[in-house]
Amino acid sequence: MKVFLALLVRDLRVAVRQSSDGVMVLSFYIIAIVLFPLGLGPNPQTLASLAPGLLCVAALLAAILSLEGLFRSDFEDGSLELMAVSPNDLAIQVFAKITAHWITTGLPLILVTPFLAFLLNLPIQALLTLMLAMALATPSLSLIGAVGASLTVGARRSSVLISVLVLPLYIPVLIFAVSAIDAVLLTYSPKPHLMLLGAIFAAAMPLCTITTTVALRQALE
Give the Cα-Cα-Cα angle 198, 28, 182 (nearest 5 degrees).
40
Indicate whether 164 belongs to the interface with another protein (CB under 8 A).
Answer: yes
Nearer to another protein, 40 or 155 (CB): 155
Which residue pairs, CB below 8 angstroms and at least 24 apart, start in 35-42? 36/120, 37/119, 37/120
Told to check if 214 binds another protein by CB under 8 A, we report: yes
For another protein, the binding residue among 34, 131, 161, 174 (CB under 8 A) is 161
Q: Among 8, 165, 185, 197, which residue sits at the site for another protein (rule: CB under 8 A)?
A: 165
Which range in 85-93, 108-116, 120-128, 149-157 contacts another protein by CB under 8 A? 149-157
> How many residues interact with another protein (rule CB under 8 A)?
21
Question: Which one of 147, 181, 184, 194 is in contact with another protein (CB under 8 A)?
Answer: 147
One-letter amino acid identity for 39? G
The distance of closest approach from Cβ of residue 203 to another protein in the complex, given in angstroms and rounded to an integer, is: 10
Q: Is 168 in the site for another protein (CB under 8 A)?
A: yes
CA distances from residue 33 to 168, 185, 207 in whole angstroms, order as listed: 22, 20, 32
Residue 197 is a binding residue for another protein (CB under 8 A): no
Is 156 a binding residue for another protein by CB under 8 A? The answer is: yes
User: Dihedral sign, CA of 66, 67, 71, 77?
Assistant: negative
- Cα separation, 150 vs 139, in Å, equals 16
> How many Å separate Cα 72 from the centre of its chain?
17
* Dist. CA 43–CA 56, nearest whole Å: 20
Phi, psi at 108, each rounded to 5°: -60, -40
Residue 214 C-beta: closest distance to another protein, Å: 7
* Listed ranges 21-29, 75-83, 126-134, 153-161: which one lies at the site for another protein (CB under 8 A): 153-161
Among the listed ranges 10-18, 56-64, 108-116, 213-221, the one in contact with another protein (CB under 8 A) is 213-221
- Comparing CA positions, the residue from 75, 31, 65 lying closest to residue 141 is 65
Q: Which is nearer to another protein, 45 or 221 (CB)?
A: 221
Residues 6+ apart with CB under 8 A from 59: 29, 109, 113, 134, 137, 138, 141
Of 123 and 192, nearer to another protein (C-beta) is: 192
Binding site for another protein (CB under 8 A): 147, 151-152, 154-158, 161, 164-165, 167-169, 171, 211, 214-215, 218-219, 221
